[in-house]
Amino acid sequence: MKKDLPPSSEALIEAFLEMFASERGAALKTRLAYKADLENFACWLAPRSVSDGRRKDIRDYLTQQGSEGLTVRSLARRLSSLRQFYRFLLQEEVIKDDPTSDHPGFRYKSGLPHPLTEEEVKRLIEVGTCHHDDPRRDKVSKAALELLYTTGLRISELLGLSAKAVQRDGPMLLVRGKGGRERLVPFSEAARDAAIELVNYDAVLDSPWLFPGRDPRRPLTRQGFDRILYACALKADIDPKRVSPHVLRHSFATHLLNRGADLRALQVLLGHVDIATTQIYTQVMSERLKEIVNNYHPLAVS
């Protein structure tokens, strides 16, 4: 398909991707996804350049993609790619009008997992991390679950932590997230104690990682961690299908929002570049918001 790409379109897409990498620190996988979306549209629009794209072109393109079987989720992603691309062209004064500005978004279920209750998380940490056959498994489980739930880290961020990260003084943990972006997140004293206990226990391994794998020179793999989490869920009498690193991250966000956390603060804690990504968590607050209105609005029916 790329052979049909007009040279002007190819140059503009490359310029956008360069900006995306340098200014936003976008990972290679993310850049490739944007590139695929933009090149698909550029080839559809050919022989005209993407700089000549109009509102009708955006509508016709997405309508055709939908009629060819593209899912609503994929359509939403392509529209998002086009919006960011045309905003870039507008800022660079390549175009004078953004053809995506008034296009309605696509509604689809976000696919967020159901969060665990606060009681279930407490049981998972207190019961699920104890009395494994291997005493080291208790320490790994305790440190990992405490950190996941009290920081909201992605599993890749957790497994990428160095042993030194938790040994620094202070209540903040330095995390390297997507695109190499770093952020500071607070973590509990219990999480720090559990992590340091694991580091001390593993001192003989001389590993640079907080969670070493079978080869101490490498971190624990995602598959290895999944097996640990599965065993913890069984011990806590929770269906293992309901427990995953992402579920714990989602539970972290949900419980904070339910207790009155600010959405902007949650965005920073989760490491989201765009507040729109964080806003998908607000759907879990609907019942709480209804309760607030019913309890405090002067015209609410008692």
| Tokens 């494994």, residue located | 132
End-to-end CA distance of the chain: give it in Å, rounded.
62
Q: Which of 246, 264, 288, 290 is catalytic?
A: 246
The secondary structure of 19-63 as a DSSP string is: HHHHHH---HHHHHHHHHHHHHHHHHHTTS-GGG--HHHHHHHHH
Q: Specify which residues 172 forms β-bridges with.
A: 186
Active site residue 168: no
Active site residue 246: yes
Active site residue 264: no
Active site residue 142: no
Alpha carbon distance 286, 245 (integer Å): 24
C-alpha dist (Å) from residue 38 to 10, 41, 79:
9, 5, 10
Q: Which of 55, 137, 176, 178 is catalytic?
A: 178
Nearest Cα residue to 248 out of 263, 228, 262:
228
C-alpha dist (Å) from residue 276 to 91, 135, 264, 282, 286:
21, 43, 10, 10, 17
Q: Which of 78, 142, 192, 249 is catalytic?
A: 249
Q: Token digits for 66?
A: 């939908």
C-alpha dist (Å) from residue 207 to 200, 222, 228:
11, 18, 20
Nearest Cα residue to 210 out of 240, 245, 170, 167:
167
Alpha carbon distance 298, 127 (integer Å): 45
Active site residue 154: yes
| Tokens 């011990």, residue located | 235
Q: Which of 139, 154, 192, 255 is catalytic?
A: 154
Q: Token digits for 231?
A: 């065993």
Active site residue 222: no
Neighbours of 227 (CB within 10 A): 11
Just list the catalytic residues.
154, 178, 246, 249, 272, 281
